[in-house]
A and B are shown apart, each in its own frame.
Chain A
Amino acid sequence: KAGVTQTPRYLIKTRGQQVTLSCSPISGHRSVSWYQQTPGQGLQFLFEYFSETQRNKGNFPGRFSGRQFSNSRSEMNVSTLELGDSALYLCATRGETEAFFGQGTRLTVV
């Protein structure tokens, strides 16, 4: 069974730009969650999608958004990038109970 695939693995963007990250879940997993990981704040929940609907949302500004497609693939978008958005963005997909993470996308904002 293929794991969770995130693309791209690395990104460098300039302040003010926007970025789109992609996550392909494990086959059969319909729940996709996104997390931001930074040295200072640790792992923080961004949002969760299930069957193309946002089911849960963390405490992040509206610049952070996401969507899920009918094949369960998900994208997250960050608009008007700030230096503080530099982080590892992780996608997790869930079956019955267990959540499995992808390798993450390392975003650097310069």
Chain B
Amino acid sequence: QQQVKQSPQSLIVQKGGIPIINCAYENTAFDYFPWYQQFPGKGPALLIAIRPDVSEKKEGRFTISFNKSAKQFSLHIMDSQPGDSATYFCAATGTASKLTFGTGTRLQVTL
């Protein structure tokens, strides 16, 4: 019940494309869903987060879509750039502050 399933494992898009990364969770006690971006040799950096009382949140070129009934959420990156090439992790947490992470998606944005 603690799992967060993330797909795809890797993704290649051209510059300007819109990569979409999907996550699904099982534990209905989860109430906070952040996305993290990680570059090689660095720690994960918080990108954007959402709570289940909203269906969409946008910050700059990053958008989270949230479907509470399906227990799914996804990250869209608008107008993707080569600098967005990184590994992206979805996560979920409930009243306990521990984060349960997805397995990560390695994104490559080509010119």
Interface of B is mostly: loop
Check A64 for interface membership: any CB of B closer than 8 A: no
Complex Cα gap A103–B41 (Å):
7
Check A70 for interface membership: any CB of B closer than 8 A: no
Check B20 for interface membership: any CB of A closer than 8 A: no
Given the complex, which residues of B lie within 8 Å of A56, measured CB to CB? 96-98
Interface of A is mostly: strand
Are B43 and A101 interface neighbours, CB within 8 A? yes
Pick from B42, B46, B103: contact of A99, CB under 8 Å: B46
Check A104 for interface membership: any CB of B closer than 8 A: yes
Given the complex, which residues of A lie within 8 Å of B49, measured CB to CB? 97-98
A67-100 CB contact bits vs B (8 Å, 1 = yes)?
A: 0000000000000000000000010101001111
Complex Cα gap A69–B88 (Å):
32
Check A42 for interface membership: any CB of B closer than 8 A: yes
Chain A nearest CB, measured from B6 CB (Å) = 9
In the complex where A100-B46, A101-B43, A103-B42 touch, is A48 in contact with B104 (Cβ < 8 A)?
Answer: no
Complex Cα gap A35–B62 (Å):
25
Apart from A33-B99, A103-B42, 20 more pairs, CB < 8 Å = A4-B43, A31-B97, A42-B101, A43-B89, A43-B101, A44-B101, A45-B98, A45-B99, A55-B96, A56-B97, A58-B98, A94-B97, A97-B49, A98-B49, A99-B34, A101-B36, A101-B44, A101-B45, A101-B46, A103-B41
Chain A residues near B (Cβ < 8 Å)? 4, 6, 31, 33, 35, 42-45, 48, 50, 55-56, 58, 90, 92, 94, 97-104
